[in-house]
Amino acid sequence: MNIVIMGPQGSGKSTQAELLAKKLNTVHISTGDIYRSIANQNSDLGRKIKEYIEKGELIDDETTFTVVDKHLAEIKSGFVVEGFPRTIGQAEREIVPVDKVIYLRLDDNEATKRLLSRGRTDDTPELIAQRLKLYYLDTVPVLNYYRQQGKLLEIDGSKTIPEVHNLILQSLGI
Ligand code: AMP
């Protein structure tokens, strides 16, 4: 089964993707993690990606397709992906079939509070606000795209980690 986990920054996507992948015995892919590791490389691509991340901007779709294709191409037995697709262009390209999309709902105040306590270098109040703005602009249309396809499963992301995990399993019928 190919599963996408979506939700605003701080909604627990990464934690929940990891737990779910473990439960399903499949691969967990995070485009944010992939990009952070590329940003640490001393290369033209690394420097370019670092600049985008530091500005709180999305990396362009063409670069994202190259990076994601490379990772997804190796996977044969399903995955849980998080951080992708992030734009309607990325969703419509349908690199691989998506079976279900988990949407972790969380309001902006709670999201900001959680991110500030996480302490990642790109978690300054300015960058958090910038990424939330892009989330509404670029990523909410992706939620609607999957909702129209009947693939979206909405989960209350404000609950505790085990509670959200159980709600996800329930909604997938596991
Ligand atoms: P995340 O950990 O998902 O918040 O991602 C961290 C940063 O990586 C984002 O702010 C973007 O700059 C970049 N990024 C991650 N996934 C994508 C994607 N699918 N498309 C474009 N940029 C991305």
Amino acid of residue 138: D
- Answer yes or no: is the C-beta of 139 below 6 A from any ligand 1 atom: no
Whether the predicted pLDDT of 162 surpasses 80: yes
Q: Which is the closest atom of ligand 1 to the Cα of 86? A: 19
> Per-residue pLDDT averaged across 126-150, rounded?
94
Identity of residue 63: T
Please state the atom number of ligand 1 nearest to the C-alpha of residue 13: 3
Secondary structure letter of residue 74 according to DSSP: T
Angle, helices 13-24 vs 161-172, to 10°: value is 50
Which residue, judged by its Cα, is nearest atom 15 of ligand 1? 32
54: its two tokens: 């530091």
pLDDT at 97 over 90: no
- Phi–psi pair at 107, nearest 5 degrees: -80, 160
Grouping H, G, I as helix, E, B as strand and the rest as coil, residue 143 is helix
pLDDT mean over 72-83: 86
- Interval between CA 58 and ligand 1 midpoint (Å): 6
- What is the reported pLDDT for 77? 83
